[in-house]
Amino acid sequence: MPRRRWLILTGALVALGVAMVWVGVAQAPLGSTGPEFNGARAYADVVTQMAFGPRPTGSVAQTELIDWLMQSLRAAGWEARVQTLEIEGQTVRNVIAERGRGPEWVLLGAHYDTRLVADMDPDLSRRTEPVPGANDGASGVAVLLELARVLPTDLDKRVSLVFFDAEDNGRIPGWDWILGSRAFVAALTEYPDAVVIVDMVGDADLQLYYERNSDPVLSQEIWAVAARLGYTQFIAEPKHSILDDHTPFLLAGIPAVDIIDFDYPYWHTTADTLDKVSAESLEAVGATVLAWLLGE
Ligand SMILES: [Zn+2]
């Protein structure tokens, strides 16, 4: 073949080789010997939850969700149970899964209920409708559930996954915020060493700042892991101050952190739907929590 064409072909092959090496490097997970968090599988868990419809405390959809959660946790090899408690005239049901043993006890939590009413909806006529809860509810559950699948069975620490009920009905007559986690902490006979809450972590446009009430040491540890893994969604600066499921733990003196993106335009509206959530965001959070938990 003419020399010029040969050169072009050689150049193309070199470029292809470089591209393949680059893709190979980019796709190789850091510390690739360990388990990997799968964002696509977590996203599928958001899809499943949304198929139940809105899932406020006491609803039929919520009971269906609990059944599915219990089945999924047990299929992943976890001991799981439903904890039923009474608080402020309401019955709440937390789902608790546990694995591992060792001197350290880490609790990962997320609320699985969705808000009874979309009272922040820009359309006033829709403010009595329930919140669909793709991000505010389903995203945190999805991260915990995928962690349940990928966490090793031979953990050298005790890990609890707690799915909290009745987080999201504050400012509604007869309700308050964070009922499930408050009842949970009140019922504790021993305290975990560290608590990590994930809430509203599925936003496709994800920015996670330090939550101001969270334990600073835990926050810095987790954000540093995210930076090392290259997840720019974690921004190591304080921003919002939020009442969430980490609050009852903090009030009991337990180190706790809330991983939350509170800059979500669809918060407590009927537009908190599947199209606002991405697998990439779920994976950034899940992979970070996983690496932190395994001390990678
Ligand atoms: Zn909410």
The domain segmentation of the chain, as residue ranges, is: 1-30, 35-293
Q: What is the pLDDT of residue 22?
A: 43
CA of residue 136 to ligand 1 center, whole Å: 5
Alpha helices in the chain, H assignment, sequence order:
3-27, 39-51, 60-75, 140-150, 179-186, 216-229, 247-251, 279-293
CA of residue 65 to ligand 1 center, whole Å: 18
CA of residue 147 to ligand 1 center, whole Å: 22
Q: What is the pLDDT of residue 54?
A: 97
CA of residue 207 to ligand 1 center, whole Å: 17
Average pLDDT, 10 consecutive residues per value, the chain (296 residues):
49 48 44 81 98 96 97 97 97 97 96 96 97 98 98 94 95 92 97 98 98 98 98 97 96 98 96 98 98 93
CA of residue 294 to ligand 1 center, whole Å: 29
**Cα first-last separation, the chain:** 52
CA of residue 143 to ligand 1 center, whole Å: 17
Q: What is the pLDDT of residue 78?
A: 97
CA of residue 81 to ligand 1 center, whole Å: 24
Q: What is the pLDDT of residue 34?
A: 75
CA of residue 187 to ligand 1 center, whole Å: 24
- The conformational region for residue 283 under phi > 0 = left, psi -120 to 50 = alpha, else beta, is alpha
C-alpha 56: how far from chain center: 18
Which two three-digit tokens encode residue 240?
């919002």
Return the CATH fold of 35-293: Aminopeptidase (3.40.630)
Cα 67 to Cα 34: distance, rounded to the nearest angstrom: 30
CA of residue 166 to ligand 1 center, whole Å: 10
CA of residue 21 to ligand 1 center, whole Å: 44
| Cβ neighbours around 72 below 10 Å, total | 18
Q: What is the pLDDT of residue 257?
A: 98
Q: Answer yes or no: are the C-beta atoms of 286 and 148 closer than 8 Å.
A: no
CA of residue 4 to ligand 1 center, whole Å: 64
Query: pTM score, two decimals?
Result: 0.88
CA of residue 30 to ligand 1 center, whole Å: 33
Q: What is the pLDDT of residue 20?
A: 45
Cα 258 to Cα 97: distance, rounded to the nearest angstrom: 20
Cα 120 to Cα 224: distance, rounded to the nearest angstrom: 34
Cα-flanking dihedrals φ and ψ of residue 222, to 5°?
-70, -40
